[in-house]
Structure formats: structure tokens, C-alpha cells
Chains A and B, each alone.
Chain A
């Protein structure tokens, strides 16, 4: 287990997380640190426990053992609302946008601004536009466009903007580029990078090594429910990360040889 040394303490830190679904042990003694202003890529093969780990952090799942620390103090996150109060927002793969509503309405859904009885459309429109500007979004011509008329990349952008509208500190993105073409992937990655540059702690779940290396500062690799490495992206190569994902170890990184439990993952299903 190797941990990269960073100057600032982590914004959010998970320590010794265990989680099982019935007899299946999904997470075993997982440590995971997220830093403000950095993109932390969370990689791992299908079933390695990536989604389970972020759902534990975001309050969708409880965990069996371990602790979460936010800004160094222990916190309990029992529900998505607890997470939202800490400023942890998660953008799921299916985005959950209403196609029949416009961008502003989607971004403020459930937390609308009102003046008296009526919706304060002007204020919401201004805030939405400001948020998009802060992310340097240039692909959206009008915030009054209906979301159904947007492209996949634009929809992803709106979902991300929705997550950062709420003074969020941690933004977790679940495979944001999985369904996108080349140009749109680039647009979304630019926004991911900008999120971190604006001071957010960003977690990027991805299968795509190009995406991971394009925007990440740090890489955390899960292998069969264990955190096998948390390293600076500049310290490792594509090949090493692929080895960590598929075999749990790569040279000095990862699991020590004697505790290696399974082989048989020889790169199947990993996009390069």
C-alpha cells in the first residue's frame, strides 16, 4: 500500500472502510483520501467496489466499519442529506435530468429560489449563468434551453453544474464520459479540470486511462474490494495503472505478493 504525500491534509478521508452485502465482502479495509483542488481518479475493474465506495461516502450506503473524516474531524454520513450538508455531491451516470424543463429549472430542482409566492426566475437564471461561466462552459448558448434538446456532453455539463451550484466542496463523478464522443469527452474533461482548479475536491470514476491521465492529479486503484494504491498521476505510467487494476500490484506498488488472492484478470474489459 503506497500513499502519495501531499502537502495539505485531505479534505475528505475514509479510513478502514468495510462493507458487505450479505455474504459478499465488497470493501475490505479501504483507505481513501480526497484533496481540495485536485482531481482524484478512482479506478478499478468491474466489481472492484468503486461505486460502493463512493455511495458510502455520499451517504447512499451505510458502511459496516471504518470512519470518515471531513477537514480532519470525524463525521457521520447516514443519508444523502448528511452528505449534502457537508457539501458532498454525486453526479450519477444516468444524470437524472428532466428533459421537459430548461437548464435553470433543472439546476434548481427541489431547491428553487422564491420571492414571496412566485419563483424568482431572474435570480435563478443569473446564478445558473454564473455557475456555467465559472466552469467556463461555452457550449451552452442559452440557459433557457430545454435539457431534452441538449447533446450528451451538454447534459453532463448541466448535471455537473447542478452539483456545484450548492457550494459543494466534494464533487463525485461516476463515469461522466462513458457515453460521449471524442469532442464531447474533451469538453467534459475540461470542466472536470476546472472544477478542481476552482478549489473543489473532485473524484472521477473512470475506466478510460486516457481520461484519467488527462485530468487527474492523483490515482486511487481498487482491486477486489481493496485499495491497492493511492499515487500521484505523474508518478505512474498507463501500464502500471492497468496492472494495478487487473492484478492488484505493479512492481513495488500494490498488494505484496504473498497476500495476492486472485489472478485471472488479464486485462479483460479494461479500455486502453
Chain B
């Protein structure tokens, strides 16, 4: 017996949304608490304007811009790793000390054993991977909460670091390759070549994606939006590379020009990890796991393997961050990777738009948020802030970021947009 009215045949597919539709959809998402990169971009603008007014002679200079990139790079790379763990709804409190241990392993190999610099760097990075696999195994297989596992890691790795540096010695790095990572710049021409390659690849991917969807008759983005996005990347990147191509030396005896070597490292990591999260099945499964564990289980996803791999990636990137920091410091001490690094990196991810509750986050969040954290650290340094002030400000910034995240979540559940 059938009393339900049969619906008519489905209508023709909806027309492609216009630029105005996209803008409206974006605004309604923002109102619904899904702010994406907005807080980070606003933060960058406010901080740059504020510090430029407070320190007009030292903050908005090409020299300081180069410095700022070098300082931010560490936060960015560590935050990229943390995003993998945050995405699945876990936390890694030990990432800071893991970065210190990895850097110390590399440094000990370089100074004591005179190992080839590339081998030493590789061993340092693998050290991070091993730490991550152990943490992930404990979380996934023994079901110990990640908060506890990584808090234990936080203490234990601090101990391992002290062991490696003989209870607090400073081990200097003299290897030129390692020092170059975060102290040297690319030649000006290479900077422009890299810029051209990066912008070209970005445009090609954007255009190819839209062309592919158009060929299949699927809804595609308006051409104006794509053009705007490509132009934005090209202009911002171009201004940056141009600024860095000016001699920013502060003495007349030397010249400092070119894009810092860390910049291509960060850009390549950004592209590769974004690809993993957005375009591969593995990345999709991480989002699913963070969104609904039960649904992931019923869908037959390899949950334990996903968890272990997320922690492994997190600690691996922490190790890369640690090596970048050690290069900048020219040394490793018992405090490498300690202090604010972890909190700055978590703050960077969250300010960028990654949720502490799992299921939401992008790699670009780490870059934008890392910039915010870098500017705060850099600006307070220029203002010669006292240590207590730095700690208080760091704490407040982290709290603000977490509050924005929690508010976004509440707002989105209130409007049903989650």
C-alpha cells in the first residue's frame, strides 16, 4: 500500500554559483563560527601595524623581515606536525622536547663522531619518527590518553636531552651545511626562480582542477575567484621576494640579500603536507577519525595505524623544527626545544584555525598562525620585553586562541553549521 506522493523527476542541475554566491556562502560560514584563516590574518595585520607604530625604526625593515621569517619557521614546522595529531582529536605535549632531542642527536653526531652533515640531519629526523611511533603505539594500542602519554614523553625526553648534552653543556654546531639552514639566504636569482616555480605550480594546479571539473560537468568555482586567489599568492609572494632581494645588511662592510633558505623548506612542506591531507585517502581518513570515531570504525578504517602514523608525522616534523632551531642557535643546550616552543606551536595551529577538538585543520593554518606567533616573539624582543612579560603574553595568546576555537565550536553547534 502506497500513500506517499511520488516526487516528480529531479530538476536540471543547479546553475554554477556566481562570485556573489561564493561571497555570501563564505560570510554565512564566518557568522556560523567557521572562521577559517580570518583570526590569523586579522592578527597579522593588527600586530604588524601595532609593532610598526611602536618601533618604526626597527620593526618594519627588510632586515627584521628576514629575521622574522627565520624565527617563525620553527613554529610553523612544529605546528604543521601538531595539526596531524590535533586533527584526530589528540594532543602531543612532548613535541617541543622531541625537537630538542632530535637536534641534540644530530649535533652529537656532528661534533663527536664527525658524521657527514646530511647523514646526521637524517638520523636526527628519524629520531623524531621513532619517538612518534612509540607515543602513537602507547596511545593506539594501550589506549593510554594522549595527554598522559605525551606528558610522560615531555618529562622523559627532557631527561634524554640532558643526557645527550651531559647535564647542561652547550654543544656548538660548526657544520656549515647545518648552519646554512636557518642563517643563510639563497642567491637573489634563485629566490626569483623559486618564486616563479611556486606561483606557476600553484596556478597550474588551480586551473587544472577547475578545467577537470568543467570537463566532467561538475560545479566549478567562478573564474574571478580563481584569478583572485592566484593573483593574491603572486602579489604577496612577489612583494616578499622583492623585499628580501634588497640588501638588508646593517653594516656597510657586508651585504645580506636573498630569500632565507628556510622559506623554500617551509613552502615545500606546506605543499607536500597539504597534498597528503587534501588529496589522499590517508588524509581524508584522518579527518574522518577526528570527526566521528564510531563512523570511522564502522567504515573499517585502520584506526590504530592512523593514530600511530599521526604521532609519527608530528614528532618527525618536530625533529625538523628542532634542527632548524639548532641551526639558528648555532648550538644545542639542555633547554633546546623547551621554553615556549610547544605552546607557541600549539597556539600557531589554533590561531590558524585548527580545532583542539579534532576534525578541523589545514596545513596553511600552521604557516599563518606561526607568523602570528613569530611576530609576537619578534616584536616583544624589539620592545626589550622582560622575561615575565613574555611568559604572560604567551599564556594570554594561547588562551585567546583556545577561546576563539571553543567559541567557534559553540557558535557552529548553535547555528547547526558544523
Q: What is the interface of chain A, defined by CB distance below 8 A to chain B?
A: 94, 96-101, 105-106, 109-112, 114, 117-119, 122, 125-126, 133, 136-138, 141-142, 144, 146, 148-149, 151, 186, 189-190, 193-194, 213-217, 233-234
Per-residue A-contact encoding for B377-418, CB less than 8 Å = 1, 0 else: 000000000000000000000000000000000001000111
Provide the main secondary structure of the chain B interface: loop
B22: CB under 8 A from chain A?
no
Inter-chain contact B3/A98, CB cutoff 8 Å? no
Inter-chain contact B295/A96, CB cutoff 8 Å? yes
Inter-chain contact B281/A100, CB cutoff 8 Å? no
B224: CB under 8 A from chain A?
no
Query: Which residues of B314-360 are within 8 A (CB) of A?
Result: 359-360
Query: Which residues of B280-295 are within 8 A (CB) of A?
Result: 280-281, 284, 287-288, 290-292, 294-295
Inter-chain contact B1/A217, CB cutoff 8 Å? yes
Cα-based distance from A111 to B2 in the complex (angstroms): 34
Residues of A within 8 A of B288 (CB): 98, 101, 105, 109
Which one of B6-14, B76-84, B92-100, B159-167 is at the interface?
Answer: B6-14
CB-CB under 8 A for A125 and B218, given A136-B7, A213-B1: yes
Query: Which residues of B188-224 are within 8 A (CB) of A?
Result: 212-213, 216, 218-219
> What residue of chain B has the Cβ atom nearest to residue A94's Cβ?
B294
Inter-chain contact B7/A138, CB cutoff 8 Å? yes
Inter-chain contact A119/B279, CB cutoff 8 Å? yes
Inter-chain contact A109/B1, CB cutoff 8 Å? no
> What residue of chain B has the Cβ atom nearest to residue A84's Cβ?
B300
Choose one: A119, A122, A146; the contact of B212 (CB below 8 Å): A122
Inter-chain contact B10/A138, CB cutoff 8 Å? yes
> What residue of chain A has the Cβ atom nearest to residue B213's Cβ?
A122
B4: CB under 8 A from chain A?
yes
CB-CB under 8 A for A144 and B291, given A109-B296, A118-B280, A136-B7: no
5 closest A-B pairs (Cβ-Cβ)? A110-B299, A98-B291, A100-B291, A96-B295, A100-B359
Q: List 14 A-B contacts (CB under 8 A).
A: A96-B294, A98-B296, A99-B418, A100-B290, A109-B301, A110-B296, A117-B280, A136-B7, A136-B9, A138-B11, A142-B14, A148-B418, A214-B3, A217-B1
